[in-house]
């Protein structure tokens, strides 16, 4: 990381992605929507008309040069800072843990431990199996396919952040089989595993049994991803 903070790291990451993208406008739009910033808000921040932002994103304007990309990125980050800097802190945690933000969406340590049931209520999760402990001190939100296909067992363990006393939230789940099997080879296991995007009836038939054997709470949720991340970002 060197001496640079998360804001600078994130600015360079976003600018690099936009500049190197085959479709810079679509990549700009992805980051703008990820920061929950409207075209109008970004245009106001940069003192340009909203049609300028729209034209860049749609490809009607020539791909922005590095100078323009820099201004666009700084605009997004400035808006986030004015709102309290949640997105910058979120990505800072992920980047400082050494992960790409398309594999880990959020990695957070709480100031104090909290009841697991509160987290489940916040993200509309249904518990399938009760674990051996009912409190957590953090969470990590993970793209399940990205994590399983791209992370080594050592990197997988780093998903725990500072403590295994946390919930691992796996997104993009279809049955939960791959997650349950992957967790069998990682020791120790987290306090809780939440499978996102799946209904209870679609869960792999052996997932609950493996959770009981390994002692973690297993839950499912179908809450919209962005809505879930917005809830999680407010936990301190």
Q: Is residue 73 helix, strand or coil?
A: helix
Residue at which a domain ends, from 27, 55, 88: 88
pLDDT at 92 over 80: no
Residue with tokens 């997650």: 179
Give the tens place of pLDDT for each residue, 32-72: 987 889 999 999 999 999 999 999 999 888 888 889 999 99
One domain for residues 127 and 203 = yes
Q: Cα 178 vs. chain centroid, distance in angstroms?
A: 19
Give the tens place of pLDDT for each residue, 160-212: 887 888 999 999 999 999 899 888 877 778 999 999 999 999 999 999 999 99
Q: Is the pLDDT higher at 235 or at 229?
A: 229
Q: What is the CATH number of the domain that holds 111?
A: 3.40.1390.20
Residue with tokens 């679609």: 202
Q: Which pLDDT does position 1 carry in this prediction?
A: 36
Maximum Cα interatomic distance, the chain, rounded to a whole number of Å: 58
Q: Which pLDDT does position 55 carry in this prediction?
A: 93
One domain for residues 158 and 183 = yes
120 DSSP 8-state letter: H
Q: Which pLDDT does position 34 carry in this prediction?
A: 79
Q: Which pLDDT does position 2 carry in this prediction?
A: 42
Range of the domain at 14: 6-88
Confidence tier at 140 by pLDDT (50, 70, 90): very high
One domain for residues 50 and 148 = no
Burial of 62 (0-12, 13-18, 19+ CB in 10 A): exposed
One domain for residues 51 and 150 = no
pLDDT at 213 over 90: yes
Number of domains in the chain: 2
Residue at which a domain ends, from 68, 88, 108: 88
Give dist(CA 48, CA 56) in Å, integer. 12
One domain for residues 213 and 134 = yes
- Find the mean pLDDT for residues 228-233: 86
Residue at which a domain ends, from 88, 120, 140: 88
Q: Which pLDDT does position 230 carry in this prediction?
A: 84
Give dist(CA 14, CA 217) in Å, integer. 36
Asked whether residue 93 is domain-assigned, the answer is no
pLDDT at 76 over 90: yes
Asked whether residue 155 is domain-assigned, the answer is yes
One domain for residues 116 and 209 = yes
Q: Which residues pair with 104 in a beta bridge?
A: 142
- Find the mean pLDDT for residues 86-91: 80
């Amino acid at each position: 990381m060197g001496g640079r903070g998360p804001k600078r790291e994130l600015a360079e990451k976003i600018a690099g992605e936009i500049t190197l993208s085959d479709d810079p406008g679509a990549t700009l739009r992805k980051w703008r929507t990820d920061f929950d910033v409207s075209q109008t808000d970004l245009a106001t921040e940069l003192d340009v008309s909203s049609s300028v932002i729209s034209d860049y994103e749609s490809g009607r304007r020539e791909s922005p040069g590095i100078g323009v990309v820099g201004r666009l990125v700084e605009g997004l980050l400035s808006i986030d800072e004015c709102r309290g800097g949640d997105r910058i802190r979120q990505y800072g945690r992920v980047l400082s843990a050494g992960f790409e933000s398309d594999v880990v969406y959020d990695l957070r340590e709480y100031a104090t431990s909290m009841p697991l049931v509160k987290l489940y209520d916040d993200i509309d999760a249904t518990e399938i199996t009760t674990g051996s402990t009912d409190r957590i001190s953090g969470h990590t939100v993970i793209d399940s396919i990205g994590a399983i296909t791209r992370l080594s067992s050592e990197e997988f363990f780093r998903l725990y952040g500072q403590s295994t006393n946390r919930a691992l939230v796996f997104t993009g789940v279809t049955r939960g089989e791959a997650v349950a099997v992957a967790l069998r080879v990682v020791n120790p296991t987290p306090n809780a595993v939440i499978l996102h995007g799946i209904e209870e009836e679609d869960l792999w038939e052996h997932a609950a049994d493996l959770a009981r054997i390994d002692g973690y709470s297993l839950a499912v949720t179908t809450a919209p991803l962005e809505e879930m991340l917005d809830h999680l970002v407010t936990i301190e």
